[in-house]
Chains A and B, each alone.
Chain A
Amino acid sequence: MIDSRIQDNFEWRFILVSVGILLLGVTSIYNVTHDLDQSGHVPIYVKQLAWILVGSVALLAAMVIDYHALARHAYLLYGIMLGLLVLVFIMGRSSRGAQRWFPLGPFAFQPSEMAKLALVLALAKYFSDVPRAGWVHQVIIPGLIMAPGLLLILKQPDLGTAMSYTFIFVSMVLVGGLRAKALGMVVLFGSMLFPFIWELFWSSLHDYQRERILTFWDPMTDPAGKGYHALQSQIAIGSGGLFGKGLDEATQSRLKFLPEGHTDFVFAVFAEQWGFIGALVLFALFAALLYLSAEIAFKAKDTLGVLLATGILSMLGFCLTVNIGMTMGIFPIVGIPLPLMSYGGTTTVTSMAALGLLLNVKRRRLTLFY
């Protein structure tokens, strides 16, 4: 009885925090887009609300179906995602030099976002099935599972998603069982190989991606050009000050000096309006979400649950840190949306489905199954 109450309480806290973040996101999206001329179109914040509705269904579905059942089909799901990534490469829509969307009427579906979740599922399944030690089993094979997805995403190109994809892989490999000695080897080899990998990575980038990374170091060198996003975003955040400028005075976002205010730079919109205090509240919400997610991972009853939760935690944590970091100028601008806040169908549904999976792991921790 007592345990069940605590359990309910936990889930409510988890839902409350998530809904709080989602609503702050919708508010920011509303503020930055409501005065756009979009006669005849559905307002963007209404679209986002619709996506949240779709996301809720995905959340419920991901929560209700036993994750062990899901894991049984993990490789199949991952295979389907790889298929979609190939398909988007053949017949997807190009925009700004990247081909990463399927047009779906007024919407666009971005398979690379969902591929992250499929990767989490596949790797969790792999590590829970094969608890054997050794390089081949702990690194090489999972690497081969991950590689085709990563290459397809890099080819689009979608640097941000590729980075989070890699991060998910690395953190799952590290948590999933690589021994301390092997860990040291990975770090050693990693640092030795870094120049070559960097060279390979750098030469595979498009010009605009390189420029973004270069101007990241000093946005002022070209304030009207490539450094524009970074600079305007920092101005927006900085000018928010301690208490924020409020809705009407938030000129950076209201007057569109800040580009992409409803998508990748939604945090800058928020921070300009609400200031340091408001942003700390938001940080607290995200921290709470991560903490609760980590709790779920920690208390999961089996390896599959732990790894599933770990993958999702690292996915959310990475996107969150890199997105906010890039709006504040401590990370290059690589299009990574802020989970649960940025406008976007695929990212919203994926993030909410991920939350559903977490709750799934949480709910099944007391049921026996072997």
Chain B
Amino acid sequence: MSKFTTQHEAFRNLQRRLLFLRLGLMIGLVLLSTRLWYLQVNKGGYYRGLSEQNRVRTVDLKPARGLIFDRQGELLANNVPGFNLYLTVEDIPDRDELADALEGLIGLPRSETKKRLANNAKSYVPILLKTGLTLREAALIEGHRLELPGLRIQAESQRNYLHGNFGGHLLGYVGEVSSEQLDEPAFQDLTQGSIVGKTGVEKTYDHAIRGKPGRKTIEVDARGSERKTLSVAEQTPGDDLFLSIDHPLQRLAESLLGEEAGSIVALDPTNGDVLVLASRPAFDPNALSRGLSSALWEQISKDPRHPLTNRSIQGQYPPGSTFKIFVAAAALESDKWSSDSTVRCTGAYPFGNHVFRDWKKGGHGSIALSEAIVHSCDVYFYNVGHRLGIDAIAQMAGKYGLGVPTGIELPSEKGGTLPSTEWKQRVRKEVWYPGETISASIGQGYLTVTPLQMAAAMAAVGNGGVLYKPRLVRAVRDRMTGQIQEILPVVRGVIPLRDESVALLHEALHEVVQRGTGTRARSTIVEIAGKTGTAQTVGARAQISTGPEGVPKQFRDHAWFVAYAPAENPKIAVAVIVENIGHGGTFAAPIAKALIEEYLEQSESHDRQPHPGQL
């Protein structure tokens, strides 16, 4: 073989081997095409979906909540711009790093961030992390935008209560919708982070004032920053509320209570309008609405004085001597007793092996019904109660609305307790003891009432027997159409007292203030009719005679005063209770007087009718 052939052989060999390389590359290309077909054609729809999920985010457009006005159109709650911090879990590369950064930047506790991240189901839906950021905090976050992908500051309207903690209980506050609520049909259009009313009218009228959220779909880039808007469904602002509250009067009432715990309720006896619904101690609904820290919440909710409790509708107190009004009404309508029936009061009423005492040592002497009311004679009413029996008393008091919630449009109203033989059998599974009737006759024992119930009952006494459902909201204005829907007064019942009975009660209650136990409520400008009450707290009975000064504060009596004015043609009915302070005539009566004077003085100087349409 020549050298040439060998070389030629080798060269041919080379070319043959090349075929393998060509074959290999061809197989490679075929494989790639197959994979391409699989990805783009077989699974194209699937990946299309993933790419959409990548780029499309849905943002809730929070509607502005409706405004809340008082009866004169004074603004009580509105909305101010606030910064809220949102985050999209999907866009976060490192959760721990984010939690650390947030703690460093805006002091949001690490655990809080982790908690929020943990209970999030859909990773591409933005979740609300913090509301009410300060301008500085918002700027800090914006400044670190590139290091913190997935975070977004959104300027949204923030609930604002113009008068701070005045009227906080009745207005309520707002907060994030709970996950339990989100499952309910009433909250179907909301998403996590939506704001709803938590208490007060904010809660009861939430459906009207929260508005309808809108929805915006946006396109985001890989960092989560908005690139363009794909579609918008505008939000609908909530409706406005016009309350029956007279806010200047409400403020006065709350300052009259001052640092004491207690409640003041004032109603318009002609239609049931709630003029004042004061409860102390109070809280600032602004603080509660702006995503307060866990520590502050702990402090408020664990406060032994229970500032969150709305005492006007949730405080259940023994009515004390104020209850005598209803015992008297029962007596007047009963054939077992007459207004002329006299009782000799010696200051003590032995019953069985127990002696019930009068508040006045030595007693009132021989006394008839009217005078017994004026001087609040306990022994007289012990006798009445014993004669009438608990069921007759309960029946009459029930007609005045005691023992059941008034139906005011506020959440968690309590009904108090109106005991009867049937009640005791049903609730306590025991028979009624006659001795218990004696305590009940002067408003002690099982009997409890709320300040609102007492005010409503007093309004019915003053107006001659019409019991209104307390009306807290007078009108709702549609924010879009401007249309005003009035909420009409509701009569819950009429108390069928004879005219003479009404006249006697009116006269006696007027005299209470003129010369009886309630003289501290006597006014030079208006005739006030009222009744004092001193509700004994549990365990305080033994110390009753020692007077308030020597008794520890928590064992002192609750001071009651219920009233209406003017006595002839009442325009306002009031119930005042101050907890653990002492006698009603001493402590509660002056408060009622101040409130009534202010209200009637003002109503003379200008027209108090509301004009919601003017706003």
Which residues of chain A have a CB within 8 Å of any CB of chain B? 131, 171, 174-177, 224-225, 232, 234-242, 251-252, 255-257, 259, 271, 275-276, 279-280, 283, 286-287, 290, 294, 297-298, 302-303, 306-307, 310, 313-314, 317, 321, 324-325, 328-330
Are A276 and B55 interface neighbours, CB within 8 A?
no
Besides A238-B46, A330-B31, 15 more A-B contacts (Cβ < 8 Å) are A131-B7, A175-B14, A224-B93, A251-B55, A252-B55, A255-B222, A255-B227, A257-B221, A280-B33, A287-B29, A290-B22, A294-B22, A306-B14, A321-B28, A324-B32
- Name the distance in Å between B23's Cβ and chain A's nearest Cβ: 10
Are A303 and B18 interface neighbours, CB within 8 A?
no
Q: Does B546 count as interface, using CB distance less than 8 angstroms?
A: no
Q: Does B25 count as interface, using CB distance less than 8 angstroms?
A: yes
Residues in A with CB closer than 8 Å to B35 are 325, 328-330
Interface 1/0s, chain B 1-33, versus A by CB < 8 A? 000000100110111011011101110110111
The tally of residues in B whose CB lies under 8 Å from a CB in A reads 45
Q: Does B44 count as interface, using CB distance less than 8 angstroms?
A: yes
- Name the distance in Å between B458's Cβ and chain A's nearest Cβ: 66
Are B21 and A303 interface neighbours, CB within 8 A?
no
Residues in A with CB closer than 8 Å to B219 are 251, 255
Residues in B with CB closer than 8 Å to A330 are 31-32, 35
- Name the distance in Å between A324's Cβ and chain B's nearest Cβ: 5
Residues in B with CB closer than 8 Å to A239 are 44, 47-48, 50-51
Closest to A231 in B: B50
| Max count, chain A CB within 10 A of own CB: residue among B14, B221, B223 | B14
Q: Does B41 count as interface, using CB distance less than 8 angstroms?
A: yes
- A/B interface sample: 9 pairs, CB < 8 A: A237-B47, A239-B50, A252-B55, A255-B219, A271-B36, A283-B33, A290-B25, A290-B29, A325-B32
Q: Does B92 count as interface, using CB distance less than 8 angstroms?
A: yes
What separation, in Å, do the CA atoms of A267 and B502 have in the docked complex? 95
Closest to B48 in A: A239
The 6 closest A-B pairs by CB, nearest first: A238-B47, A241-B44, A239-B51, A255-B221, A321-B28, A276-B40
Q: Does B220 count as interface, using CB distance less than 8 angstroms?
A: yes
What separation, in Å, do the CA atoms of A328 and B597 have in the docked complex? 85
- Name the distance in Å between B343's Cβ and chain A's nearest Cβ: 86
Closest to B16 in A: A175
Tell me whether chain A's interface is mostly helix, strand or loop, or mixed.
helix
- Name the distance in Å between A41's Cβ and chain B's nearest Cβ: 18
Tell me whether chain B's interface is mostly helix, strand or loop, or mixed.
helix
| Among A131, A286, A287, A314, contact of B21 (Cβ-Cβ < 8 Å) | A314
Are A257 and B55 interface neighbours, CB within 8 A?
yes
Are A225 and B14 interface neighbours, CB within 8 A?
no
What separation, in Å, do the CA atoms of A131 and B26 have in the docked complex? 29
| Among B13, B15, B48, B222, contact of A238 (Cβ-Cβ < 8 Å) | B48
Q: Does B147 count as interface, using CB distance less than 8 angstroms?
A: no
What separation, in Å, do the CA atoms of A192 and B335 have in the docked complex? 117
What separation, in Å, do the CA atoms of A241 and B41 have in the docked complex? 5
Are B39 and A256 interface neighbours, CB within 8 A?
no
What separation, in Å, do the CA atoms of A287 and B11 have in the docked complex? 25
Q: Does B235 count as interface, using CB distance less than 8 angstroms?
A: no
Are A175 and B221 interface neighbours, CB within 8 A?
no
Are A303 and B22 interface neighbours, CB within 8 A?
no
| Among A242, A306, A307, A314, contact of B40 (Cβ-Cβ < 8 Å) | A242
Are A252 and B11 interface neighbours, CB within 8 A?
no
Interface 1/0s, chain B 323-366, versus A by CB < 8 A? 00000000000000000000000000000000000000000000
Are A256 and B221 interface neighbours, CB within 8 A?
yes
What separation, in Å, do the CA atoms of A242 and B42 have in the docked complex? 9
Residues in B with CB closer than 8 Å to A317 are 21, 24-25, 28
What separation, in Å, do the CA atoms of A224 and B33 have in the docked complex? 28
- Name the distance in Å between A368's Cβ and chain B's nearest Cβ: 15
| Max count, chain A CB within 10 A of own CB: residue among B31, B40, B219, B222 | B40
Are A238 and B40 interface neighbours, CB within 8 A?
yes
Are A235 and B50 interface neighbours, CB within 8 A?
yes
Q: Does B165 count as interface, using CB distance less than 8 angstroms?
A: no
Asked if A321 meets B7 with Cβ closer than 8 Å, knowing A241-B48, A276-B41, the reply is: no
- Name the distance in Å between A291's Cβ and chain B's nearest Cβ: 8
Are B18 and A251 interface neighbours, CB within 8 A?
no
Are A294 and B40 interface neighbours, CB within 8 A?
no
